[in-house]
């Protein structure tokens, strides 16, 4: 009896406290005090959605995106503060509120100097998938730790997107495994029935090319549509948002990224898929509204990074974008590094061959035996910087605890120096793309607005519509969501 009384009391105090905090924060966010705690927070990531897609010159939004823009609260200045601006690092920032220097997720993959190989952001040394390299709790972990009955579910076509949205110990994380051609989860945990259902019923067009002949839905539409169905099934099967403990549901649509890489932003193919995403988000909102039946929920639309237009496209030409062959780029950077270091460190032939361990943009990993201790490195790096900056495609070079370089991008570089990061970060000139002509397509990852600026919009029954033009770093997003959920 004693324990029960204590539990009841403590639960009551806790509720009062978090309602108070929630009201406080929401009064700031919405300008309204009449607000109840949301029972469901839905994070919607559209992979590779540039911020300027919201004002897309060739698209009139008619469905979900239109509703979110017209009725939501837009944080117009939202941008990432790290490099590379890619999928894994972006998804980790969204849910942890921390930059790669803290999360340890410094990219989709990185160089491991000890084992002389690349490491994937969500795979351990045994080849198992999971959040092993994520060094801080996600929003979901904080929610479950505060209210253990809360549920946290993340789904995506990509493993890294789902896993990093889920955090360290989510209720369920589901992604699509291309090798097995089915939805899967962690090897140690059973696939819930609602996900197995989809493995039996994947549409036959699933594997067809991105686009079919005119008028027909391509595989990309189907992939994102099926993912939405998986999410909705999870929401209903797990009864998300139906009790007093708030739940967190996250979905990351991947096809915009696949199409954007291949055809570039503002292409016919990309525009077509954005219209499809608009419809898919329309259905998502309709389903959530009907499921929550007037109950409190919040949907947040955002993205993990943007993308550079194709240099060969009319827009790319107009903007003066340049493509550089990776081979040529690596050779010029490596030669410059070795020549400058040979002078400074008196390297012999054998040492020259091992001086540069790996160039994996934006990082350069150097041989630590040769570059000496921290005090010696600064002088060496200064010399390397001077020579590298003479290459016509490089703007600036950064390293840990660098002194004297305080341009607007140096904070972004410093936020990206985890122990897994390289010794140097290269900032290429704006509009330069290092990607082979043979591979074609385009990429993201740079410091610049086209890669770092993304949409952030809060939408829900009690969110007051508007545009917030204050500076907004993407690390602020998790902080806002935490306050919304009453987390300290």
Q: State which residue, 198 or 253, has the beta carbon closest to Zn ion.
A: 253
Segment near Zn ion (CB under 5 A); pick from 86-94, 167-175, 201-209, 310-318: 86-94
CB of 426 to Zn ion, least distance (A): 21
Residue whose CB is less far from Zn ion, 253 or 459: 253
Strands 456-459 and 73-75 turn out to be antiparallel
DSSP states of 298-314: EEEEE-S---PPPTTSH
DSSP state letters, 227-288: HHHHHHHHHHHTTTTSSSS-EEEEEEE-HHHHHHHHH-TTSHHHHHHHHHHHHHHHHHHHHH
Task: Quote the least distance from Cβ 362 to Zn ion, whole Å.
Answer: 16
> What is the β-pairing status of strands 247-253 and 40-46?
parallel
Q: How many residues bind Zn ion (CB under 5 A)?
A: 4
- Mark residues 254-273: x for contact with Zn ion by CB under 5 A, - for none: ---x----------------
Of the candidate spans 123-131, 278-286, 303-311, 383-391, the one that interacts with Zn ion by CB under 5 A turns out to be 303-311
The answer to whether the beta carbons of residues 304 and 90 sit under 8 Å apart is: yes
Helices 2-30 and 475-484, interaxial angle, to 10°? 130
Nearest to 151 by CA among 233, 45, 234, 93: 234
CB of 303 to Zn ion, least distance (A): 8
Measured torsion, CA atoms of residues 236, 242, 243, 247, in degrees rounded to the nearest 10: 60
Name the token pair of 264: 């570039």
CB 108, min distance to Zn ion, A:
8
Q: Whose CB is nearest to Zn ion?
A: 87
Q: Which is nearer to Zn ion, 87 or 220 (CB)?
A: 87
**Smallest gap from residue 258 Cβ to Zn ion (A):** 10
Q: Which two tokens stand for residue 189?
A: 């945990």
Q: What is the CA radius of gyration of the chain?
A: 24
CB 51 to Zn ion: min, Å: 14
Q: Which residues contact 256 (CB under 8 A, 6 or more apart)?
A: 46, 47, 48, 49, 270, 273, 274, 277
Q: What sign does the CA torsion over 91, 393, 398, 118 have?
A: positive
Binds Zn ion (CB under 5 A): choice among 255, 278, 296, 304? 304
Judged by CB under 5 A, the stretch of 84-92, 177-185, 388-396, 452-460 that binds Zn ion is 84-92
For CA atoms 207, 208, 209, 214, the dihedral sign is negative
Residues 42 to 81: which contact Zn ion by CB under 5 A?
Answer: 47
How far, CA to CA in Å, does 133 sit from each of 143, 294, 331, 462, 477? 20, 39, 31, 37, 21
Which CB atom, from 427 or from 444, has the smaller least distance to Zn ion?
444
With respect to Zn ion, which residue has the nearer C-beta, 25 or 253?
253
Residue 159 beta carbon to Zn ion: minimum distance, rounded to whole angstroms: 12
Give the residue with the Cβ less far from Zn ion, 304 or 423: 304
The region of 54-62, 304-312, 338-346, 355-363 touching Zn ion under the rule CB under 5 A is 304-312
47 versus 278: smaller Cβ distance to Zn ion: 47
Using CB under 5 A, which of 22, 81, 85, 87 touches Zn ion? 87
Is 451 one of the binding residues for Zn ion (CB under 5 A)?
Answer: no
Question: How are beta strands 472-473 and 78-79 bridged, if at all?
Answer: parallel
Output 39 or 160, the one with its CB closest to Zn ion: 160
Min dist CB 23 to Zn ion, Å, is 35
* Residue 256 Cβ vs Zn ion, minimum distance, rounded to whole Å: 9
Residue with Cβ nearer Zn ion (304 or 396):
304
What residues from 370 to 409 belong to the interface with Zn ion (CB under 5 A)?
A: none
Q: Which residues bind Zn ion (CB under 5 A)?
A: 47, 87, 257, 304
């Amino acid at each position: 009896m004693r324990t029960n009384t204590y539990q009841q009391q403590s639960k009551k105090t806790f509720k009062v406290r978090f309602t108070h905090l929630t009201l406080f924060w929401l009064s700031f966010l919405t300008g309204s005090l009449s607000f109840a705690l949301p029972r469901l927070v839905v994070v919607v990531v559209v992979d590779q959605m540039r911020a300027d897609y919201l004002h897309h010159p060739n698209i009139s939004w008619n469905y979900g995106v239109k509703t979110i823009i017209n009725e939501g609260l837009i944080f117009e200045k939202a941008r990432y503060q790290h490099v590379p601006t890619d999928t894994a690092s972006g998804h980790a920032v969204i849910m942890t509120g921390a930059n790669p220097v803290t999360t340890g997720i410094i990219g989709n993959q990185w160089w491991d100097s000890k084992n002389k190989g690349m490491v994937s952001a969500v795979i351990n040394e045994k080849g198992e998938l999971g959040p092993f390299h994520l060094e801080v709790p996600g929003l979901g972990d904080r929610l479950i730790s505060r209210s253990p009955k809360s549920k946290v579910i993340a789904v995506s076509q990509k493993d890294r997107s789902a896993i990093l949205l889920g955090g360290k110990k989510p209720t369920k994380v589901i992604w699509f495994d291309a090798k097995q051609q089915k939805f899967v989860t962690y090897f140690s945990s059973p696939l819930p029935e609602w996900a197995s259902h989809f493995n039996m019923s994947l549409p036959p067009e699933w594997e067809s090319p991105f686009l079919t002949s005119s008028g027909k839905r391509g595989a990309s539409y189907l992939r994102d549509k099926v993912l939405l169905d998986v999410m909705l099934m999870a929401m209903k099967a797990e009864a998300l948002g139906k009790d007093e403990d708030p739940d967190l549901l996250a979905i990351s649509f991947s096809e915009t990224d696949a199409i954007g890489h291949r055809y570039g932003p503002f292409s016919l193919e990309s525009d077509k898929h954005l219209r499809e995403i608009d419809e898919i988000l329309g259905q998502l909102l309709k389903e959530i509204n009907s499921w929550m039946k007037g109950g409190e929920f919040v949907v947040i639309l955002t993205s993990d990074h943007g993308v550079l237009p194709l240099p060969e496209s009319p827009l790319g030409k107009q903007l003066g974008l340049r493509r550089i062959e990776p081979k040529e780029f690596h050779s010029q950077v490596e030669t410059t590094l070795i020549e400058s270091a040979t002078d400074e460190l008196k390297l012999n032939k054998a040492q020259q061959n091992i001086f540069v361990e790996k160039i994996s943009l934006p990082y350069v990993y150097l041989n630590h035996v040769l570059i000496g201790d921290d005090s010696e490195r600064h002088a060496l790096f200064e010399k390397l910087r001077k020579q590298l900056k003479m290459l016509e495609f490089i703007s600036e070079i950064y390293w840990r605890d660098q002194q004297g370089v305080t341009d607007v991008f140096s904070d972004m570089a410093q936020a990206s120096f985890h122990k897994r990061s390289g010794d140097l970060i290269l900032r290429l000139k704006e509009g330069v793309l290092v990607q082979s002509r043979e591979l074609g397509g385009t990429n993201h990852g740079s410091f610049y607005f086209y890669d770092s600026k993304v949409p952030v919009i809060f939408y829900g029954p009690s969110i007051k519509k508007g545009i917030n033009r204050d500076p907004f770093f993407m690390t602020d997003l998790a902080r806002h969501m935490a306050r919304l959920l009453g987390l300290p």
